[in-house]
Amino acid sequence: MTVLLSGTNVRKAFGARPLFDGINFAIEDNDRIGLIGPNGAGKSTLLKILAGRDTADDGTISRQRGLRVGLLDQVPLFTEGATVESTIMEGAHDPHEWECIAAAQEFMSRLSLDGSEGIDGETLVSKLSGGWKKRVALARELMRTPDILFLDEPTNHLDVESILWLEDFLNDAQFATVTITHDRLFLQRISNRIWELDRRNPGGLLSIQGDYAHYLESKDLLMAAQERRETVLKNTLRRETEWLRQGVKARGTKSYSRIKAAGELKRDVEELEYRNTVRTAKFDFHASEKNPKRLVEATNISKTYGDRVLFKDVNLLLSPGLRLGLLGPNGCGKSTLIRILLGQETSDTGEIERADQLQIAYFEQNRETLDPNTTVLKTLCPMGDQVKYRGSYIHVRGYLDRFLFSPTQMDMEVRKLSGGEQSRLLIARLMLQEANVLVLDEPTNDLDMATLSVLENCLMDFPGAILLVTHDRYFLDQVANRLLAFGEPGTDSAGKIIPFASMSQWENWFTEEQASKRKSGTKNDTASSEPSAPAPKRKLSFKEQFELDHMEETIHKAEETLEKLTAESMLSEVASNAHRLTEITAEMSALQSEIDRLYARWAELTN
């Protein structure tokens, strides 16, 4: 495998606060890296350094000669008044060369920007939704013909259908990728290596070869090993401290060295305690004491805009304990349905009854109710220094500590917070409201995985009703106990809202709908065709049969070796040894490629 980009002892800080310090890494040509870590760890900053948009304070970044990179920003920027085509051509090395023009047309076709979805090259980018803007920005980066494509939260603002498309696209890509995402299912499907950027990791950057599920297993083993080591060192430190307190005179070299070793041991214990301490936000929404059995009831409601039917004859009852997830492409009518249920908009037909005691807490997708120029403290407590939570007054600083805001952050303006920190602040404010209906519109954007897990548990314990819109399929599947999907335009389900029990059930339905949609466009071409007979299976030679008979054993040995290398890479003494870590990483990558080749060869021999 070829190393495209590597870093040694890379450091970056903002003021006196280091984001990461002394991290080492290497990106190879077959890598599909998922970059994760807590909010504020510096993931986006690291991505910009790797893409050449920013520089490190210290350390060395080595790039292969002539390396081409692309960076899909979390919020892409566009030239004012730019069209889809002019934006895409910004990535071309020569916008007048016929090969670049042809490539742009190909990407526009592959990304449905060729008029097939009502968007073509002359469409103004400013008129597009967030999801379509992401596609235009992606096409612009692909025009650079990158060897490595860096993606910062590419699923934000994409609907589930677009995320499924992006998964397929990245898995078929002929270049390396490094992707920041908190979408765990997306991460599982597009990654073959996980980087976790966290100062608590040995070396600051933990690299695990394999998908996200394998990372979770490896991380669990690493944490267990660190906790055992902390226990052993604490026992040793206690014995050494007792020896020192006995007043033994340090007359010899051995005694002096023992005193010095006790000091080093104390520092090691403190470092392990820091690594093993994981703080998470504490969420607990304030449910209303009175929860009527019928919070909102809709009967035969419909909504149409012009000739377009969003939904028709919908019957829905929101009751305590219902956690309802809404699925559908951007613009299908999810937000319209929510506004109608809450009385912010009227339906064309039908009736809606709402409980007299209805109290609603609303998490808006773009966090527009947060004043960017107000401090974190004043956002929650405009007057005084206490907030009322669950009937009791508590100090606002103590309340913010529940959401992992440091004392310095509490006096910062909201605009200086990261996206994840702003989401935590909005949740903190919502928790001060008493409610029997929670409306959450994309609450998972920018939240790290530890916070997502806590939020999942909190929502599942909420006794009222929940209306949830999110692109995070894992989060949706964990939280929602009922799903409603908007029918696909151009199919028999258009205008309908269809119930599902799980995300897997919806994905199967969606796949069939897409196949039916494609079939309806080509049915005349294939209506009379007969299925062809399967080709006869080729007889294996003696050498091939021998290879097949021993293939399982060969793969098993290779996987055992990979497991041993993975375990070695997690040892603290290896993580701090840049040279050995680079060697192991190269061996693991080569071995993983060989395992992939063996599996492909096995499939070839058995077909």
Give domain status of residue 534, yes or no: no
Please tell me which residue, 32 or 460, carries the higher pLDDT value: 32
**Mean per-residue pLDDT for 187-193?**
91
Same domain, 222 and 209: no
> Looking at residue 59, what is its pLDDT?
92
Q: Which residue has the tokens 């993931």?
A: 43
| Contact predicate 173/29, CB 8 Å | no
pLDDT of residue 232: 63
Token pair recorded at residue 307: 């000739």
> Side chain identity at 239, as an amino acid letter?
R
SS3 297: strand
The answer to whether 454 and 281 are in contact (CB under 8 A) is yes
Residue 255 lies in a domain: yes
Question: CB 406: neighbour CB atoms within 10 A?
Answer: 11
Out of 214, 239, 257, a domain closes at 214
Q: Which of 189, 138, 147, 182 is nearest to 164 (CA)?
A: 189
Mean pLDDT of the region 541-558:
74
Are residues 295 and 271 part of one domain?
no
Instruction: Please report, rounded to a whole number, the percentage of residues in the chain having pLDDT higher than 70.
Output: 78
| Weakest-pLDDT range from 101-105, 165-169, 216-220, 445-449 | 445-449
* End position of a domain, from candidates 276, 311, 326: 276
Model pLDDT for residues 476-517, shown as the tens digit of each residue:
888 888 888 887 665 666 667 888 888 888 888 877 777 766
State whether 118 and 167 are in the same domain.
Answer: yes
Q: Average per-residue pLDDT in the chain?
A: 79
Where do we find the tokens 């806590």? 454
Residue 459 CA to chain centroid, in angstroms?
19
Contact 325, 468 (CB under 8 A): yes
- pLDDT value at 168 more than 70: yes
Q: Are residues 178 and 318 in the same domain?
A: no
Question: Is 530 part of any domain?
Answer: no
Choose among 320, 314, 321, 357: nearest CA to 338. Answer: 314
How far, in Å, are 21, 45, 55, 60 from residue 12 at the CA level?
Answer: 6, 8, 8, 12
Same domain, 357 and 252: no
Provide the number of structural domains found in the chain.
Answer: 4
**Do 350 and 438 reside in the same domain of the chain?**
yes
- Measured CA to CA in angstroms, residue 579 lies from 24, 25, 514, 575 at distances of 9, 11, 50, 10
> What mean pLDDT do residues 194-214 have?
86
Does residue 67 contact residue 107 with C-beta atoms inside 8 Å? no
Dist. CA 213–CA 216, nearest whole Å: 5
Do 34 and 179 touch, CB atoms closer than 8 A? Answer: yes
Please tell me the predicted confidence (pLDDT) of residue 531: 45
Same-domain pairing of 574 and 430: no
555's tokens: 């793969």
* Same-domain pairing of 417 and 479: yes
Residues ≥6 apart with Cβ < 8 Å to 104: 85, 88, 89, 92, 139, 143
Query: CA 299 to CA 317: how far, in whole Å?
Result: 9
On whether residue 258 sits in a domain, the answer given is yes
Q: Phi, psi at residue 207, to the nearest 5°?
A: -115, 120
Confirm if 199 and 20 have CB atoms less than 8 A apart. Answer: yes
Secondary element (H or E) of residue 123:
none
pTM of the model: 0.62
Domain termination residue (choose one: 214, 233, 250): 214
Q: How far is CA 21 from CA 13, 40, 205, in A?
A: 8, 14, 9
Asked if residue 527 belongs to a domain, the reply is: no
Domain range for 20 is 3-214
One domain, residues 181 and 260: no
The answer, yes or no, to whether residue 69 has pLDDT greater than 50, is yes
By three-state DSSP, how is residue 335 classified?
helix
Residue 242 lies in a domain: yes
162, 187: one domain: yes
Region 190-199: mean pLDDT is: 89
Longest dimension (CA), the chain: 99
For residues 334 and 251, what is the distance between their CA atoms, to the nearest angstrom?
A: 78
239 and 300 housed in the same domain: no
CB atoms within 10 A of CB 485: 23
Would residue 531 count as lying in a domain? Answer: no
Q: Which amino acid does the sequence have at 75?
A: V
Which CATH number covers residue 64?
A: 3.40.50.300
300, 256: one domain: no
